[in-house]
Structure formats: structure tokens, C-alpha cells
Amino acid sequence: MTKEFIKIGLVSISDRASSGIYEDLGLPTLKNWLDNALITPSQIVARLIADEQTEIESTLIDLVDHENCSLILTTGGTGPALRDVTPEATLAVADREMPGFGEQMRQISLNFVPTAILSRQVAVIRKQSLIINLPGQPKAIAQTLEGLKDDAGNQMVHGIFAAVPYCLDLLGTKETPTPYIETNEAIVKAFRPKSALKSPA
């Protein structure tokens, strides 16, 4: 039996990082977080691109339609600046929108900065893939993915990644199942209804 794994697309969107003016921090942050948070083996497909809507759209389409990534995480380009077009590009390639992800990310970030209301992250489904826009700051990426905990490690506010594995479950069919993702509960505990849990092998 082939061991299950998930193919994940990571996209860092920045004019300056993609042109070499400064080092990209988005992709290393995302890779490191996933390495710590996932128990399920992953295959990463990474892209560093400029804030160009057509390039963002074509990259997302390629990662879903040709690379067959089940999950795509983007970072950067979600503010109100004129060059911030990641949400527009994401919505342009979407079949359906998943507004709860963006709502929760802003709610988490509002615990730290009032400017969180300026963020425009969206999440969408294209075919059987989930695409999520994350914040651009490395610290905010981890906060929105894993949520907020108290000093004793108790979960105070759920991060968005807790809902990702079950969302992917729901996108699967008998003919084309999606990967069953398991997480390191010390980082983020995936939530599934009891009826959706698989017994340990």
C-alpha cells in the first residue's frame, strides 16, 4: 500500500524579493511551519513571483491543474496598496470562495495590531484544491495558521489550519480521493467530526 502524502504549493508574492532586492522570508517560513506541523509526509512545490495579477493567476492554475497540489498557501500581496493583487488573482481562478478563512485570520491578527482590518486575505476552492492567502509577515503566518495559546499551551483561539484537513476530506470523491492529513497536535490539532476520523493503521 502506498503511503499517503500531500502535495502542497507554496507561493511567495513580492516585487522586491522576486527581483532579488531582499531575501524572501515567506517560503522558508511556510516550509518550516509545515515541517513542524504535519505528520503526513508532504511534497512541496515552491514559487517566488512578482505582484503581477496575470502571473499570480497562471501560477495558481499551474499548481492546481498541472502540479496537482491539494493545498496551496500564498503569502504577500493582500494589503490595500495598488500593487497588492493577490486576492483578485485568487478569486479569478476560483470555483468557490471559502470566506471563513479570511474572517478568522483577520480576527486572530486583530489581537496584535489594529491594522489587521486592512488585510484582504481570501481562501477559495479550485477543482479539488484549497487555496489560502496568508499574511506577508512571518510571525503573522504562524499565528494565523496555529492560532493563539495561553502560557500553559491551552488553545485560546483556533488557527485556520485546524480546519484544513477536514476541508480537504470533503473535496474528495470515491473516484478521486484527497489525502487524509494528520497534524502534530502540539502545533495545531486538526478537527474532524468523529464520523470522519480514520482508525490508526
Predicted confidence (pLDDT) per residue in 88-122, tens digit: 999 999 999 999 999 999 999 999 999 999 999 99
| Average pLDDT of the chain to the nearest whole number | 95
Which pLDDT score, from 0 to 100, does residue 3 have?
A: 54
Per-residue pLDDT at 175 exceeds 70: yes
CA–CA distance, 135 with 122 (Å, rounded to integer): 10
Per-residue pLDDT at 130 exceeds 90: yes
Which pLDDT score, from 0 to 100, does residue 4 have?
A: 83
Contact in structure between 110 and 104 (CB atoms under 8 Å):
no
pTM: 0.95
Question: What's phi and psi for 97, nearest 5 deg?
Answer: -100, 150
CA–CA distance, 108 with 148 (Å, rounded to integer): 8
Overall fold of domain 6-195:
Molybdenum Cofactor Biosythetic Enzyme; Chain A (3.40.980)
What are the sequence ranges of the domains in the chain? 6-195
CA–CA distance, 141 with 118 (Å, rounded to integer): 16
Contact in structure between 189 and 183 (CB atoms under 8 Å):
yes
As given in the structure block, the three cell numbers for residue 63 are 499548481
Render pLDDT for 30-40 as a digit per residue (tens, 0 to 9).
999 999 999 99
Render pLDDT for 80-93 as a digit per residue (tens, 0 to 9).
999 999 999 999 99
Report in angstroms the alpha-carbon separations of 190 from 27, 79, 170, 172. Answer: 23, 28, 14, 17
Per-residue pLDDT at 2 exceeds 50: no
Which pLDDT score, from 0 to 100, does residue 162 have?
A: 98
Nearest C-alpha neighbor of 109 from the set 73, 155, 157: 157
Per-residue pLDDT at 1 exceeds 50: no
